[in-house]
Amino acid sequence: MNARWLAVDIGNTQTVAGLYSVSCTPSEFRFHLEKKIRFRTGASATSDEWRSQCSPVWNFDRALICSVVPALHGTLSEALSDRAFTIIDSNTPRSFELALPHPEQLGADRLANVMGALARIEPPFLIMDSGTATTFCLVDSKRRYIGGAIVPGLETSFSALQSRAARLFQVELIRPESSVGNTTELQLQSGLIQGTEALIEGLGDRLLRDAGPEFSGARRLLTGGCGHFLRLPASIEFIPDLTLEGLLHYGKELTRHA
């Protein structure tokens, strides 16, 4: 089957949509990104507004969506009423297990990240997603999501800092070369960006240690909209479109189960 699939990652702050040409047959699964767009997530957007924002990538046969904004789900259903679409959740067919007491609580973007990572590498591994929140997901050698951590993301931390500190001002999110800033602007940039880098490395180390000996040599993957701000060790592989790729692999699973 040759088709165009639209993969959409709806976050609290931004939405990313990728239009892919896909070849999905019993013997192969290939995809190629044709176009990607990014826009601010509007929880109160109408179906017409949402379609307008997605107009550059609207030439598709099927949509696969992960969303952490439940208020938009009715809007999405209306906007996509004339297309085949799936909004991913914990009940959607997948190729891994959720070893959690409340699997329905896991964000759909994290589900997509795990699906995308499993299509690339063998577990165990740790996925780190730097967006509105910075999330950490651990998958063991039995392809089970076993847990992780959530901390405020880079931009969220800055917004919170500004809202509570009247003397701070808007700065551009540029990574300073040194962690030692000699102006308020440079100190903010250092704390925000290099502080996030240190958090990702340090909490990643702690999670792998606490997860047990199985994870001692686990690979680390980084994704998320803030990932391009960060400079991390070469042992952490940055995959900007991991979430969108995971949605495509969800589409492959759905095709197989149809």
Reported as a single tens digit per residue, the pLDDT across 42-64 is: 999 999 999 999 999 999 999 99
For the domain 90-258, what is the CATH superfamily, name and number? Answer: ATPase, nucleotide binding domain (3.30.420.40)
Residues annotated as catalytic (active site), given as ranges: 109
Task: State yes or no: pLDDT of 13 exceeds 80.
Answer: yes
Digit-coded pLDDT (tens) for 181-216: 888 788 888 888 899 999 999 999 999 999 999 999
115's tokens: 């699906």
The residues spanned by each domain of the chain are 1-87, 90-258
Task: State yes or no: pLDDT of 15 exceeds 80.
Answer: yes
1-87 and 90-258 agree in CATH topology: yes
Rounded to 5°, angle at Cα 38 from 113 and 247:
25
| Architecture of the domain made up of 1-87 | 2-Layer Sandwich (3.30)
Digit-coded pLDDT (tens) for 96-126: 999 999 999 999 999 999 999 999 999 999 9
When comparing pLDDT for 191 and 16, which is higher? Answer: 16
- pLDDT tier at 228, thresholds 50, 70, 90: confident
Q: Collapse the DSSP code of 91 into the 3-class scheme (helix H, G, I; strand E, B; otherwise coil) and give the result.
A: coil
- pLDDT tier at 166, thresholds 50, 70, 90: low
Angstrom distances, CA of residue 3 to CA of 100, 163, 192: 35, 46, 42
Query: What percent of the chain has a predicted confidence (pLDDT) above 90?
Result: 76
Task: State yes or no: pLDDT of 154 exceeds 90.
Answer: no
